[in-house]
Amino acid sequence: MNETAAGRQSTSAESAPAREPVIEVRNLETYFGDRHILKDVSFDVLRGEIFVILGGSGSGKSTLLRHIIGLLRPSGGSIKIFGHETVDIGEEEWEKLRRRMGVLYQGGALFNSMSVGDNVALPLREFTDLPEATIGIQVRLKLGLVDLAGFERLRPDQLSGGMKKRAGLARAIAMDPQVLFFDEPSAGLDPIAGAGLDELILRLRATFGMTIVVVTHEMESVKKIADRVLMLFKGEAVAVGRLDEVMKNPHLRVQQFFHRQADEEKVDPRQYLDYLTAGGRREL
């Protein structure tokens, strides 16, 4: 996938024609030691769209996300967010950019030493001079948005998995970010809670026009929420574009992915045993 290919497929069903990119990734490369993880990955995420990063286990989805949100520096390539090059900026500039971004982690990542309300209030207390009363209103508002009104006083360990994620989401949108990232939103949730989270993602986009980037391998949820998708296979971007287009992509790996021919099923047991005893990572 080169720049022009990523740029051309910019129109999603209901959007105005020329939307500017919020995130521009070009020729991204990652090495862990001598292992080549991401290979020449390029794509754009456009304002207001729901962009899904798809791929099997170990394909490099989380690594890609960590590069974009600045937790891991890539070995090469360029990532622009809101037009700012981020791969070589200092920590201080990153901190400013990050206030315009929100991230929802797999388990919600709430701080257990604080109540749910204090978790949501934390960014407001740290980055604004709002009086406590206003912060309280904001917290109730954001918790209401994720259907957790009245849960301020509870401690995170008193919440179910799905509630933790929603509370984490309330914290992620506390500062009204322009871009929101989700790491495996439905992982570890029952189908109903997973579907509820998908609804929430759609609702956030509809209400605030946020740009949303989702990492997942749940096809059900992709079909429901994705405007455009990036399909990773062993660190390569094998397809980028609108979901319906990518689903028609003849690439063998793409078809396998959409038709659930999971790689795991074809693993040779002897090879797998070697892999386990060698203490290796998910190399298969």
Partner 1 sequence: MPGREEALAALGRAALHAVDVVRDVWALLRDIAFWLFIAPWKRQRAGVRWESVIEQGVRIGWDAIPIVVLINFFVGMISALQSASLLKRFGQLLLVANAVALSTTRELGPLLTAVIVAGRSGSAFTAEIGSMKMAEEVDALSTMGLNPTRFLIVPRVLAMSIAVPLLTLAADFMGIFGGWLIAVTVVDLGSWQYLRHTADAIDMGDVMRGLTKSCVFGGIIATVGCYLGVHVEGGAEGVGRSTTNSVVVSIFLVIFANLIFTAFFYMIE
283 three-state secondary structure: coil
User: Cβ of 273: how many Cβ atoms within 10 Å?
Assistant: 10
Least Å from the CB of residue 216 to Mg ion: 10
Give yes or no for residue 281 binding ligand ATP (CB under 6 A). Answer: yes
Task: Look at strands 76-81 and 50-55 and give their pairing.
Answer: unpaired
Using alpha carbons, select from 134, 142, 79 the residue that is nearest to residue 116: 142
Closest contact distance (angstroms) between CB of 60 and ligand ATP is 4
Site membership for Mg ion, residue 106 (CB under 5 A)? no
- Is the distance from CB of 25 to CB of 186 less than 8 angstroms? no
251 part of the interface to ligand ATP, by CB under 6 A: no
Nearer to ligand ATP, 57 or 158 (CB): 57
CA distance 283 to 268: 13
Closest distance between Mg ion and the C-beta of residue 61, in Å?
A: 5
Q: Residue 59 interacts with ligand ATP (CB under 6 A)?
A: yes
Q: Pick from 34, 126, 157, 265: which binds partner 1 (CB under 8 A)?
A: 126
What is the Cα–Cα distance from 189 to 159, expressed in whole angstroms? 13
Residue 187 within binding range of partner 1, rule CB under 8 A:
no
Residue 58 contacts ligand ATP per CB under 6 A: yes
Exactly one of 95, 132, 190, 264 binds partner 1 (CB under 8 A); that residue is 95
Helix (H) or strand (E) holding 61: helix 61-68
CA 234, 217, 238: angle at the middle one, nearest 5? Answer: 35
Whichever of 57 and 261 has its CB closer to ligand ATP, that residue is: 57
Site string for Mg ion, 46-85 (x = CB under 5 A): ----------------x-----------------------
Neighbours of 45 (CB within 10 A): 24
CA-angle at 265, arms to 195 and 55, nearest 5°: 50
106 lies in the binding site for ligand ATP (CB under 6 A): no
DSSP letter at 235 equals T
List interacting residues with partner 1 (CB under 8 A). 69-71, 91-92, 94-96, 98-99, 101, 103, 105-107, 109-112, 122-123, 126-127, 168, 171
Which residues are at the interface with ligand ATP (CB under 6 A)? 32, 37, 55, 57-63, 217, 281-282
